[in-house]
Amino acid sequence: MRRLLLLRGAELIVFAFLATIPLLVVNPYALGLLTLLAIYGILLIGLDVTVGYLGQVNLGHVAFLGLGAYTAGLAVTKLGLGMAPALLAAMAVGLLLGGLLALPALRLEGPQFALATLSFAALSTTALNELEGLTGGAQGLSLTRPPVFGHALTPPGFYWLCMALLAVVWMLMRNLLASQWGRAFEALRDSPIATDAMGVGTYRHKVAAFALGSALGGLAGGLYAFNFQYLQPQSYTYDLMIILLLGVVLGGRKSLWGAFVGASVIVLLPNLLSNRHLFQIFSGAGFAAALAAGIRGLMKKTVRPFQALAPAVAMGLLVVGGMLVENTEDWRKAIFALMLFSVVVGLPEGLMGFLSLFLAKLFRVPHAPLPEPSDIETILPPGSPDGAPLLVLEDLKRYFGGVKAVDGLSMTIRSGTIHGLIGPNGSGKSTVVNVISGLYTPTSGRTLLRGSVLPTGSLFRVAKSGVARTFQNLQLFGELTALENVMVALKGVYRSPLPLVLLGLARLEERRAQADALCLLGRIGLRDQALTKAKDLTYGAQRFLEIARALARKPDLLILDEPAAGLAHPDVVQLIEIIKRVHGRGITIILIEHHMDVVSELCDTVTVLDYGKVIAEGTPDEVKRHPKVVEAYLGQPPEPDPSSGAVPQPA
């Protein structure tokens, strides 16, 4: 209750206050600024979906503002549509073009993605400029705000409309981002490979997120058109894009409040630039804050000297520049650039990120209480393994250029067993797993799961067939909590259609997901750290968390790629316990392992690989004595006491 009051109370108060302003103040200029605040708020919430949640540098958002504005403008002037259909059309154009751009662009990473979005922005501005017959080109397009329900909207009326839309967008986005959708967005930012391997389609979520963000850009564009009632292609160029990015980064990524704060800054910027005194006060305050933060960081040794002082130097340039330069407006771009630089270096979490640390201390917002964990019997009902072949590899090959990493491997894994896969480093074990799980496409050969051919080359589709895996090099969702890591992967819980999720009516299944995930965390002894971010867990806990996350897939077959690598002895003991428990639920396991004692204790059958080929297969005791195995491990005899440690590795 207290938590809800604190969290929702602030939203209610701010929106209620904003709604009453036109009743108290009759200053058309201030009202204009506040209307812009609402419009930019919607625009930045949309941009934050790609920049904050997907972690992509999106330089095309300004194009969706322009396209939305022109769509609404043309819908009114050429088609004679009303305001509501015009706004819907603006949104639809954003959604559609955003989705179309995302299809090819989101296959790209980092700089290429940024360039693709930048080209799109250039293309659309040029098109708006050159399609003179339609848009009026550089002449611009004038329109009048259509009446709503037969009434012409007064400025306060239009302001209320914009604020109401911001409030609706805010609520819907809050619900969406707190759901499996939001988790999926963040998961794919942290590890696209693991997101696919957990049966959450990376690509479709990326496209959906980008289209959604662009639709909000379109909506903001529609409102922008009705606000200014005059459109020009030059308004939607690169300059504005920098300001929008500044808004998101300065406000704070991954935060609705951040978008709101960012929008306020953007709206106030022009005033700042046109008023010399205001600018000097602002830059002075910025310099002092940056200097204080830098010195504090230096004393606490949390940042390097350059990183600590660079923002202060940048802000210092603003102060000096403000005194020397006649007209700060001419230096707009340089000023934005300096501000953006200072924020990116000095305040990477943005104003809201900084404030929320502070506010959390002040108000001590409690975490929402977690539900009682579910019963393991309901999540992983014990299977009844029959020993029949579950996974069959037939003459599987995978070459990398000349390297025959897997070279004609045939192997049968029977249901209900723990099947060890061992071999010297580089013998192809991980490659086998990567081929089975769909990360790599096989060069030739095939894989059968329960007699049907397993899809190749798609982590997502293999995951859907009932195979779950962990990774030799951890692939956790670092920014998500342990609980959320497991929740992302949970199979069969999220059934509500998108509209219900948006309306916040999917809370029940969210509770259920939490309860299930808590139960699985309990199985690996991490229930107490459910709310710790994965990146802050100990190394051993991270390894276990990957197992719990894979279990959330409720798999028939679980593949563990060197789960004991790098673990200290007590953790290895716990790992053995965990694997036994998983096996106890009737789950078939492929275990890649170096520690021979672990293999001996757990495995029913062991296959030994060398140079991508099977050199021995049998019970752990049989393979240890096998002459070829002894030879593969550089002629050293296996250690006499099976509990004494790792199989010796080739140098």
Binding site for Mg ion (CB under 5 A): 429-430, 472
Q: Quick one: 59 or 413, whose CB is closer to ligand ADP?
A: 413
Measured between alpha carbons, how far is 145 from 147 in angstroms, rounded to an integer? 7
Q: Which stretch, 148-156, 375-383, 400-408, 640-648, contacts ligand ADP (CB under 6 A)?
A: 400-408
Q: Look at residue 567 and give its three-state secondary structure.
A: coil
Measured between alpha carbons, how far is 432 from 643 in angstroms, rounded to an integer? 27
Q: Which does 423 bind (CB under 5 to 8 A by kind): ligand ADP, Mg ion, none?
A: ligand ADP
> Of the candidates 172, 242, 245, 405, which one interacts with ligand ADP according to CB under 6 A?
405
Measured between alpha carbons, how far is 205 from 2 in angstroms, rounded to an integer? 34
Q: Quick one: 222 or 428, whose CB is closer to ligand ADP?
A: 428
Question: Is residue 400 a contact point for ligand ADP (CB under 6 A)?
Answer: yes
Q: Quick one: 64 or 440, whose CB is closer to ligand ADP?
A: 440
Q: Which stretch, 350-358, 418-426, 599-607, 632-640, contacts ligand ADP (CB under 6 A)?
A: 418-426
Q: Which residues contact 531 (CB under 8 A, 6 or more apart)?
A: 367, 370, 481, 482, 483
Q: Quick one: 405 or 579, whose CB is closer to ligand ADP?
A: 405
Give which of 138, 378, 173, 364 is closest to 255, Cα–Cα.
Answer: 173
> Of the candidates 426, 478, 638, 648, which one interacts with ligand ADP according to CB under 6 A?
426
Please calculate the CA angle 437-439-441 and round it to the nearest 5 degrees. 95
> Of the candidates 429, 523, 549, 583, which one interacts with ligand ADP according to CB under 6 A?
429
Strand partners, 592: 421, 561
Residue 465 main-chain phi, psi, to 5 deg: -80, -5
> Of the candidates 313, 403, 500, 646, which one interacts with ligand ADP according to CB under 6 A?
403
Q: Quick one: 179 or 430, whose CB is closer to ligand ADP?
A: 430
List the alpha helices (DSSP H) in 131-201: 132-135, 155-177, 180-190, 192-197
66 in Cβ contact with 233 (< 8 Å): yes
Tell me the residue type at 523. R
Question: Is residue 425 a contact point for ligand ADP (CB under 6 A)?
Answer: yes
Q: Which does 431 bind (CB under 5 to 8 A by kind): Mg ion, ligand ADP, none?
A: ligand ADP
* 605-610 β-sheet, strand order: 467-469, 557-561, 588-592, 418-422, 605-610, 613-618
Q: Quick one: 404 or 414, whose CB is closer to ligand ADP?
A: 404
Give which of 121, 339, 329, 109 is closest to 247, Cα–Cα.
Answer: 339
Q: How many helices (H) and strands (E) does the chain have?
A: 27, 12
Q: Quick one: 171 or 403, whose CB is closer to ligand ADP?
A: 403
Q: Which stretch, 67-75, 80-88, 92-100, 397-405, contacts ligand ADP (CB under 6 A)?
A: 397-405
Min CB(427)–ligand ADP separation in Å: 4
183 in Cβ contact with 483 (< 8 Å): no
Q: Which does 400 bind (CB under 5 to 8 A by kind): ligand ADP, Mg ion, none?
A: ligand ADP
Which H helix or E strand runs over 236? Answer: none
β-strands 444-449, 389-400: how paired? antiparallel
Of residues 609 through 648, those in contact with ligand ADP by CB under 6 A are none
Question: Is residue 438 a contact point for ligand ADP (CB under 6 A)?
Answer: no
Q: Quick one: 218 or 612, whose CB is closer to ligand ADP?
A: 612
Q: Which stretch, 30-38, 354-362, 419-427, 520-528, contacts ligand ADP (CB under 6 A)?
A: 419-427
First to last CA, the chain: 61
Q: Quick one: 350 or 428, whose CB is closer to ligand ADP?
A: 428
Q: Which does 222 bind (CB under 5 to 8 A by kind): ligand ADP, Mg ion, none?
A: none
Which H helix or E strand runs over 400? Answer: strand 389-400
> Of the candidates 135, 202, 417, 431, which one interacts with ligand ADP according to CB under 6 A?
431
416 in Cβ contact with 387 (< 8 Å): yes
Q: Which does 17 bind (CB under 5 to 8 A by kind): Mg ion, ligand ADP, none?
A: none
Q: Which stretch, 190-198, 422-430, 456-464, 507-515, contacts ligand ADP (CB under 6 A)?
A: 422-430
Q: Which tokens belong to 68?
A: 């939305």
Place of tokens 């602002």: 282
Give residues in contact with ligand ADP (CB under 6 A). 400, 403, 405, 423, 425-431
